Amino acid sequence: MKSKRAFNWVLLTPVLIFLLLFLILPIVLLLVISFQNQNTYLQLEPGYTLSRYVGILTQWKYLKDILVTVGVALLTTAIALVLAYPAAYLLTCAPSKSVRSLLYVLLVSPLLTSVVVRTFAWIVLLSQNGILNQILEKLGLIQHPLSMLWNMNAVILAYVQVMLPFAVMPIATCMGEISPSLQRVSMSLGAGRIRSFFKITLPLTIPGMASGGIIVFALTAGSYITPLLVGGGMQPLLPLMIYQQAMQVSDIRLASALSIVLLVIVFIFILPVEALLKRWEVKVYG
């Protein structure tokens, strides 16, 4: 038994070293840099300070970005889950394996394309001389091109499209593990399709919805490419502020503090969901 455990640790060692060097260590360095003192010329000075965190948590310009970021991430997560559920149901209820395989390929294929390319596709669609405006003008529905880019609606729309596969896959996995006999037994006992869905299918797929929601929320809260391209870099989002402070202002220490705050915010939302999910699994599975 001891030799087997030792062998397992040997197998885990490369992964643990990789995570230590490229995940834990960078976060520790970010934390240290965020407390470093600097002068008005952004030059490093001896000592450490909490002033950046105090400013982030007390000044409205930072609080606004935090609130908007959380709101956009939650809205994107909700829309993605609503759209993902019927898509996952279609995947698991496909009439044949070939059709199911085709649907999985269609679902995963966007992930094989760069997020930058997918985001630029929305620019082609939504710009004033884009495909959508041209179609609406030819149909006579509008007289002048609509301004559908460089706003938060376009950002959320692009977010949902980018994040949708990450919501579908966990839900489809949960649905695939549900035995079809459960619904048949429920219906044989007098429950209709709708009641069987709410009493059997929906409760058993809540872990998949929670997992997909966590993934979508975390990825959306930390994404800056999509709002930078579709929103024009003008939206009050925390990832964009981090990008601007690091790449344009060159205030690495403030960017580090904002990054740590964003990381903490994501954990604040994820950890309670994980705790509730464990309680739900105990309640359902015993």
The tens digit of pLDDT for each residue in 244-264 reads 999 988 899 999 999 999 999
Predicted local distance difference test score (pLDDT) of residue 42? 80
pTM for this prediction: 0.91
Whether the Cβ atoms of residue 168 and residue 214 lie closer than 8 Å to each other: no
Mean pLDDT for 228-256 is: 91
Whether the Cβ atoms of residue 131 and residue 165 lie closer than 8 Å to each other: no
Strand partners, 48: 36
Predicted local distance difference test score (pLDDT) of residue 106? 87
Sole residue written with tokens 């995963």: 108
2: confidence class by pLDDT, cuts 50, 70, 90? low
88, 207, 284 from 82: Cα distances, Å: 11, 15, 22
- Quick: pLDDT tens for 67-111: 999 999 999 999 999 999 999 988 888 888 888 888 888 888 888
281: confidence class by pLDDT, cuts 50, 70, 90? confident
